[in-house]
Amino acid sequence: MKLPFAESYKIKMVESIKKSTYEERQKWIKEANYNLFNLKSSQVFIDLLTDSGTGAMSDKQWSEMMIGDESYAGASSYYKMKDAIKNILGFDYFLPTHQGRAAENVLFSATVNEDDVVPGNTHFDTTKGHIEFRKATAIDCTIDEAFDTSVFHPFKGNIDLSKLENVLKQYPKEKIPFIILTITCNSSGGQPVSMKNIKDVSKLAKKYDVKIIFDSARFAENAYFIKIREEEYKDKSIKEIVKEMFLYSDGMTMSSKKDAIVNMGGFIALRDEDIFKKAAVFNILYEGFITYGGMSGRDMSALAQGLDEGTEFDTLEARINQVYYLGNKLKKYNIPVQEPFGGHAIFIDAKKFLPNINKEEFPAQTLAVELYIEAGIRGVEIGAIMADRDPITRENRYPELELVRLAIPRRTYTKNHMDYIAVAIKNVFDRKDPINKGVKIVDEAPILRHFTVKLERI
């Protein structure tokens, strides 16, 4: 018999999580204004809100925490991080930041101006927020296949080259600080970008003399998908693929809370010394001196170790297999899920799951609330609430996809947890009384409203 897949790690420390009753959860979610961000973590049994900073560090990362160097300037931890970034990603210049959006804030402060345009594949919410906050425009050039959850395409994060070229033709290059390529593309469902597409985008960028920045939170997962889906890369190691991917970029922003498997941290890495120097000024202003930028020494040391572990095939295989195990279970239960499954999460198509709820009543948020009440599982809406209002008309924006994301933290939950999640979703799906009332907004922030929005059931 073929041996089944098993993780190449064992567990050395455990943390208790609390179960609750259906009645308790009904009360708690009401008190939280039907916003899952407002729940206490003690009110959640399985937390799939995000895979950001929620992973389990390894024994080696924890030992790096103990030997971290907390010197203000020139700490050895900084140099460990610098070496890891040079050796694994290939960049000479880097700035530590406290997380990914801080990297965006610093880099965009140095490069993005009013009326600029930043084309890319579906920009992540904080990325878009930082662009729009500077009165610039994010232009989505993702391939159309990305927006149909039932179509199979191996690289749904890809850029549509003709959409991109139209933007590059339409605007003078001075108005385009860079193209941003998100690998994997979080907002379109953790979907990868192929090496071929990366190369083609790079060719176009060269032709129009525009830079490319990779939004790289899940770059290692992207490399894994290239290895298993792009024939000519099947015999290459993840580290070789990673090196090659970044050859086509001028720089990157990183949320290390994802593929560097730390609880907090981020960085900017760059090839160009001039941009580095400009960004360094903002780093000192917003984050801290350039050799720590908002991170403790111990966190930089753990990050360096995490970058190495996160780009090992075994780490990625265990992670992505777990996500796919859950996805395949849901499919067996006929739950409408986005395919192919993302690297870090399973996305439920809420419009198909709750066909009776119209878009003005936020089907994905409604479903996330129901799933919490059913089983204490916390997912997150990736839909109209997250999309914010149009910055000019102030009308609600209704993206094509209304999704509930179930993000799986790295090395944290077991196969039994995946089985529990799948059955909980099936139970909501099979309910005798169909869910036909959604939610409405009673209070919201002007930007990034999904974090603090207050809702009522209709």
Ligand X SMILES: *Cc1c(COP(=O)(O)O)cnc(C)c1O
Residues 435 and 351: their CA atoms lie apart, in Å, by 12
Which is nearer to ligand X, 61 or 126 (by Cβ)?
126
Strand positions, DSSP E, 113-211: 117-120, 137-140, 179-182
> In Å, how far are 178, 207, 457 from 351, measured between CA atoms?
34, 40, 18
Catalytic residue selected from 78, 124, 178, 224: 124
Residue with smaller CB distance to ligand X, 136 or 441: 136
Q: According to CB under 6 A, which one of 29, 34, 45, 52 is a site residue for ligand X?
A: 52
Q: Is 267 in the site for ligand X (CB under 6 A)?
A: no
Whether residue 385 contacts residue 362, with contact meaning beta carbons closer than 8 Å, is answered with: yes
Q: Regarding beta strands 345-349 and 403-407, do their DSSP bridges make them parallel or antiparallel, or are they unpaired?
A: antiparallel
**Rounded Cα–Cα distance for residues 370 and 349 (Å):** 14
Q: Which is nearer to ligand X, 56 or 183 (CB)?
A: 183
Mode of pairing for the β-strands spanning 377-378 and 46-47: parallel
Interface mask toward ligand X for 278-307; x: CB under 6 A: ------------------------------
Number of residues located near ligand X, criterion CB under 6 A: 15
Q: What is the DSSP string of 35-63?
A: -GGGS-GGG-SEE-S-SSS-SPPPHHHHH
Instruction: Tell me the C-alpha distance between 168 and 181, whole Å.
Output: 15
Complex with ligand X: residue 134 or 329, whichever CB lies closer: 134
Shortest Å distance, C-beta 295 to ligand X = 12
Looking at residues 323 to 382 of the shown chain, list those that interact with ligand X (rule: CB under 6 A). none
* 352 is an active site residue: no
Interface residue with ligand X among 257, 329, 378, 405 (CB under 6 A) is 257
- The single residue among 43, 61, 77, 255 that binds ligand X, judged by CB under 6 A, is 255
Applying CB under 6 A, which of residues 54, 121, 186, 283 lies at the interface with ligand X? 186
Residue 268: name the closest of 305, 281, 192 by CA: 281
Distance (Å, whole) CA 201 – CA 203 = 5
User: Which amino acid, residue 49?
Assistant: L
Q: How far is the CB of 51 from ligand X (least distance, A)?
A: 9
Among 124, 171, 214, 282, binds ligand X (CB under 6 A): 124
217 is catalytic: yes
Interacting residues with ligand X (CB under 6 A): 52, 99-101, 124, 126-127, 182, 186, 215, 217, 255, 257-258, 266
The residues that are catalytic are 72, 124-125, 215, 217, 258, 450
